[in-house]
Amino acid sequence: MTTPEQRRQDAVDALAQQTIELPSWAFGNAGTRFKVFPTAGVPRDPFEKISDAAQVHRHTGAAPRVSLHIPWDLVDDADGGMEKLVAHAADEGVAIGTINSNVFQDDDYKLGSLTNADPAVRRKAVQHHLRCLDVMRATGSKDLKIWLPDGTNYPGQDDIRDRQDRLAESLAEIYAGLDPDMRIVLEYKFFEPYFYTMDIPDWGTSLLHCLALGEQAMVVLDTGHHAPGTNIEFIVAQLLRAGRLGAFDFNSRFYGDDDLMAGAADPFQLFRIMNEIVRGDALRPDSGVNFMLDQCHNVEEKVPGQIRSVMNVQEATAKALLVDREALGEAQRSGDVLAANGLLMDAYSTDVRPLLAEVRESRGLPADPYRAFMASGYLDRVRSERVGGTQAGWGA
């Protein structure tokens, strides 16, 4: 029997080790197709994005990696641009994490990238991914994240099965370029930018391609990429069973792919997801599951928005860690529905903020990273320093 005190201590230990990767694109201006509201002081290049991300790590101690999007964050410089970015990250106390390939902003890809009927376009898209692998060699990154924007808008527009065959071939070419310690993490999304079919719309399609590719291919679950009402924690449990959950893109949604702050719209869902993670022993740093944010901040400040999201993920995790799993197992096996549900809700209803403050303070971090950052003067400083040049938009 574990005591509440033991559970609390185990939670403290696990929380001290938890890390959450940040997306470089969260620090630039973002908006909707109607309007992008500019925010003073946002980064003008990948170096400034990394400096902002480092602020999140400095205040939370939980965000030591920054994910890059290529070509948005490509520093093309004859004498080692990406190496300079790596050195800058190290100076700021963070490292480069996942590399995301971008095949959604090029005219050639109107009818598809890795699935395009034209072999020359497919070649170009495969080459872009192989170039991303070179970027990974320069940055020390181990994960290539592929989110495929390909799909069709009209029934009959293209042959669904031919597109799958072309996708499998293109992915196999990219997979053959991996080093032994690299992985492809393959993201799915049920709609957008196309609306009739997406070529990787769901976790089943992603998983089938990963299984065909080999052990270095894993599924990415972006919490915003499901139909309303989807039971995401079930997908988490299933992918963990199959040993193929590679990474998360955390964000919140109300309607579409809203990319709001993680844990803002539905903190209970985030708890249920983290509960499956803890149940599946996938929180360990060596579990192979990379926890990442994938959000944009349209109307709020970006660095504190990221800090708030990291704190939200930590709160959901802390609650999941406090579940009395022995009592829960007993209640489940004996068919005591209400007791089992009650045990889960007890953990969810716990105010874990004092526990997290304690974890932070014991590591020399501010008890409230959000307040500490707001009081640091950083935003005023970048607003006055970052004048001239072009502000980074969503992406570039």
- The residues that touch ligand LRH, with contacts defined as CB under 6 A, are 25, 100, 147, 187, 189, 222, 249, 257, 294
Least CB distance to ligand LRH at residue 25 (A): 6
Report how far residue 91's alpha carbon sits from residue 88's, in angstroms, rounded to the nearest whole number. 5
CB distance 57 to 12 below 8 Å: no
Q: How far is the CB of 100 from Mn ion (least distance, A)?
A: 8
Binding range to Mn ion, per CB under 5 A, among 246-254, 312-320, 324-332, 333-341: 246-254
Nearest-CA neighbor of 17 among 306, 348, 278? 278
What is d(CA 62, CA 146) in angstroms, rounded to the nearest whole number? Answer: 25
- Which one of ligand LRH, Mn ion, none is in contact with 29 (Cβ closer than 5 to 8 A by kind)? none
Query: Helix, strand, or coil here: 223?
Result: coil
Q: Which is nearer to Mn ion, 14 or 264 (CB)?
A: 264
Shortest distance, CB of residue 145 to ligand LRH, whole angstroms?
A: 7
Nearest CA to 66 among 28, 20, 101?
A: 20
For the purposes of burial, counting CB atoms within 10 Å of the CB of 5, is it exposed (0-12), middle (13-18) or buried (19 or more)?
exposed
CB atoms within 10 A of CB 306: 29
> Please, which residue, 92 or 222, has the CB nearer to ligand LRH?
222
Nearest distance from C-beta of residue 311 to ligand LRH, angstroms = 22
C-alpha 184/C-alpha 216 separation (Å) is 6
The smaller minimum CB distance to Mn ion, of residues 92 and 259, is found at 259
Residue with Cβ nearer ligand LRH (143 or 294):
294
- Residue 100 binds which one of ligand LRH, Mn ion, none, with CB within 5 to 8 A depending on kind? ligand LRH
Q: Which residue is nearest to ligand LRH (CB)?
A: 147
**Cα(315)–Cα(11) distance, integer angstroms:** 11
Which listed option, Mn ion, ligand LRH, none, makes contact with residue 143 (CB within 5 to 8 Å by class)? none
**Site membership for Mn ion, residue 257 (CB under 5 A):** yes
Pairing type for strands 65-70 and 22-23 reads parallel
The Cα 239–Cα 245 span in angstroms is: 5
CB 236, min distance to Mn ion, A: 16
Of 150, 249, 315, 324, which lies in the binding site for Mn ion, with binding defined by CB under 5 A?
249
Angle between helices 46-60 and 302-321 (to 10 degrees): 40
Find the shortest distance in angstroms from Cβ 250 to ligand LRH.
Answer: 11
Cα radius of gyration rounded to whole Å, the chain: 21
User: In the bound complex, what is the minimum distance in angstroms from residue 265's beta carbon to Mn ion?
Assistant: 14
Cβ–Cβ under 8 Å, residues 307 and 369? yes
**158 near Mn ion (CB under 5 A):** no
Structure tokens at 67: 């994910």
CB nearer to Mn ion: give 222 or 233: 222
188 vs 378, which CB is nearer to Mn ion?
188
Residues 177-216, mask of contacts with Mn ion (x by CB under 5 A): ----------------------------------------
The residues binding Mn ion (CB under 5 A) are: 222, 249, 257, 294
